[in-house]
Structure formats: C-alpha cells, structure tokens
Amino acid sequence: MKYKLISFDLDGTLVNTLPSLAYVGNLWLQGLGVKPVAPADYAFLVGRGSKNHVIDLLKYVDYPPYDAEFLQVQWQRYIELLKNNGTYQVQPYPGLVELLENLKKADISYIVYTNKKETVAARVLQAAYAGTGIDFPTIYGDKPGNIIKPDVTRLLAYMKEHRLSPAEVMHVGDTNVDMQTAHNAKVTATGVLWGFRDKAELQAAGADYLVQTPAELQRLILQNI
C-alpha cells in the first residue's frame, strides 16, 4: 500500500541539533558549577523530553541528591536556556531537503512528531531549513497538557482526521523511543542511522526498516507508488 503520511522525529532525524543540545546543556551545567559534558555524549542523553533530559544529565554528572523543588527550578532554567539558544549551529542532515521536496512532488504529507518543546521545535526547523523552500505546517512537540512520545495520542488523532490507516503511515526516527512510538500507533517503524543512536538500539527496539541515507529512505517510501 502507498504511504500517504510520514511522521518525522526532529533531533537526530530532520536536524542535526547535537551542537545546540551540547551548548545549552553545558551552559546549564556551568550554572550549577559542573564541568561540561563532551558534545558526543549528548547523543545518548536526549530523546525523552526536556525534563527527563535534565534528570539524565544530573545523573550522568553524578550530581548530589536533590528534591522535587530543585528539579522544577532547574528544569525551567534549562527551558529558558533552550528557548534562547536552541538554534545554535542547527542544520539539516545532507539529503533531507531533497527528500522532503520529493515527498511533496509525490503528494505525500509529512508532519514532525518530536519530544522537543513545541515552540523551540518550530524555531529550530525554521532556522535549519531557512532559504530551502521547505516548510513544516504541522509540528507536534512537548507543551502543557500533552504527553510526550512514545505516546501517540496526537498522531492517532491526525490519522483519524485525515482518514489514514496505519498501513499508510510511517514514523521515522533515530531512537528506541521512536520505534516504540511507531509500534504504539501500529505504523511502519523506520530507523535512521545518520542520527544519534546506533543500529543495535534500533534493531532491539523492533525497527521494521533501517536506512543509511535520506536517499535510501526516499526509495523505501516511494517503492509502492
């Protein structure tokens, strides 16, 4: 059956945000008097939403025990830093512009389904894809009242509104959370190997397909047209 909708993760899938995530994370740690974490290590500390990211960073640097009030304050501090610095050195992965252009030509819709703060996600995509002619009319991210991935409430609502069956939808991402998201929605789970995580994680999470490049992803999507 022809795919009619591609749901994309953002960080590590549509946009290389690792420089920004490391920059923001290390600014935040600096405020706590903690030494910076190597940028490459952030690839394994993201993907579960900003609050979980703060918790995981505190654990990673072996921060002393803290209470719920401390966590709330530090989470909000991190969010402010992210709002002000979230577009730092962001750029699309090579081949993504062409892929999205060809999806449009094939009349295949796409949305962004991310655990990034929704307002930040919109700014990141605008900055990364500036001047390319690519737009992102539908972005679902973390905001008050919503549950983050692997919850699929909003994805299923979109599918219902547009009368799409699970067989017509693919979710594309670079982490085990994305593969679980796809399984929860009963849609095709495709893992990308240009992102933050490795083949073993995606396979263990039950990826239906693994792709090395956007060109390979394009062939997979368009194969039934």
- What pLDDT, in 10s, does the model give residues 8-55? 999 999 999 999 999 999 999 999 999 999 999 999 998 888 899 999
**189 Cβ neighbours under 8 A, 6+ residues apart:** 170, 171, 178, 179, 181, 182, 183, 205, 206, 207, 208, 209
CB burial readout 166-189, b (16+ within 10 A) else e = eebbbbbbbbbbbbbbbbbbebbb
In the predicted structure, residue 225 carries a pLDDT above the cut 80: no
In the predicted structure, residue 153 carries a pLDDT above the cut 70: yes
pLDDT interval class at 96 (50, 70, 90): very high
The shares of helix, strand and coil residues in the chain, as percent rounded to the nearest 5, are 50, 15, 35
Tokens of 111: 């949305």
The crossing angle, in degrees rounded to 10, of helices 96-105 and 214-222 is: 20
Choose between 225 and 161: higher pLDDT: 161
Share of the chain above pLDDT 90, in %: 94
pTM for the whole structure? 0.92
